[in-house]
Amino acid sequence: MAEGATGDLAAMEYEICIGLETHVQVKTRTKVFCACPTEFGAEPNSNVCPVCLGYPGSLPVINEEAIRKTVLAGMLVGAKIARYSKFDRKNYFYPDMPKNYQISQYDLPLVIGGTVEYDFGIVDKKRLGETKVCHLTRIHLEEDVGKNFHFERTSGVDFNRAGTPLMEIVSEPDLSSSDEAFAYLTALKEILIYGGISDCDMEKGQVRCDVNISVRPKGQKELGQKVEIKNMNTFSGVRHAIDYESQRQIETLRRGGKLVQETRRWDDVAGVTESMRTKEHAHDYRYFPEPDLLPVSLSEEWLAEVRKLVPELPSAKRKRMVERYGIPLYDAGVLSADAALADYFEAAAKASKNPKSVANWICNDLLRDLAEAKLAIGQSPVKPPHIAELVELVDSGRISSKIAKDVFVEMFKTGKAPAAIVAEKGWVQVSDTGAIGKFCDEVIAANPKIVADFKAGKEVALNALTGQVMKLSKGKANPQAVRDALRAKLTG
Q: Which is nearer to Zn ion, 49 or 367 (CB)?
A: 49
User: Cβ of residue 200: shortest distance to Zn ion, in angstroms?
Assistant: 24
What CA–CA distances, in Å, run from 201 to 26, 60, 189, 205, 309? Answer: 11, 27, 9, 7, 22
Query: At residue 236, what are phi and psi to the nearest 5 degrees?
Result: -70, -35
User: Cβ of residue 51: shortest distance to Zn ion, in angstroms?
Assistant: 5
Q: Which is nearer to Zn ion, 34 or 469 (CB)?
A: 34
User: Cβ of residue 50: shortest distance to Zn ion, in angstroms?
Assistant: 7
* E strand or H helix that includes residue 240: helix 235-254
Q: Which is nearer to Zn ion, 42 or 417 (CB)?
A: 42
Q: Which of 16, 17, 36, 382 forms a contact with Zn ion (CB under 5 A)?
A: 36
The runs of H, that is alpha helices, within 417-478 are 418-425, 433-446, 448-455, 461-472
C-alpha triplet 68, 74, 80: angle, nearest 5°: 115
User: Cβ of residue 34: shortest distance to Zn ion, in angstroms?
Assistant: 3
What CA–CA distances, in Å, run from 319 to 79, 190, 309? Answer: 22, 16, 21
Q: Which is nearer to Zn ion, 22 or 160 (CB)?
A: 160
Does residue 34 bind Zn ion (CB under 5 A)?
yes
Q: Which is nearer to Zn ion, 54 or 113 (CB)?
A: 54
Query: Residue 65: CB partners within 8 Å, gap ≥ 6?
Result: 28, 29
Q: How many CA atoms lie within 13 A of 212 on its CB side?
A: 15
User: Cβ of residue 110: shortest distance to Zn ion, in angstroms?
Assistant: 22
Q: Contacts from 43-52 at CB under 8 Å and sequence distance 24+?
A: 44/149, 44/156, 44/158, 44/160, 45/158, 45/159, 45/160, 46/160, 47/160, 48/159, 48/160, 48/162, 51/163, 52/98, 52/143, 52/159, 52/162, 52/163
Per-residue binding letters, 45-64, with Zn ion (x by CB under 5 A): ----x-xx------------
User: Cβ of residue 35: shortest distance to Zn ion, in angstroms?
Assistant: 7
Q: Which is nearer to Zn ion, 90 or 161 (CB)?
A: 161
Does residue 97 bind Zn ion (CB under 5 A)?
no
Strands 296-297 and 84-85 come out as antiparallel
- Candidates 43-51, 64-72, 134-142, 288-296; binding stretch for Zn ion (CB under 5 A): 43-51
- Candidates 27-35, 301-309, 317-325, 412-420; binding stretch for Zn ion (CB under 5 A): 27-35
Size of the site for Zn ion (CB under 5 A): 5
Q: Which is nearer to Zn ion, 36 or 81 (CB)?
A: 36
Q: Which is nearer to Zn ion, 34 or 191 (CB)?
A: 34
User: Cβ of residue 401: shortest distance to Zn ion, in angstroms?
Assistant: 58
Does residue 303 bind Zn ion (CB under 5 A)?
no
Q: How many CA atoms lie within 13 A of 327 on its CB side?
A: 29
- Candidates 36-44, 123-131, 203-211, 276-284; binding stretch for Zn ion (CB under 5 A): 36-44
Q: How far is CA 349 from the centre of its chain?
A: 23
| List of residues contacting Zn ion (CB under 5 A) | 34, 36, 49, 51-52
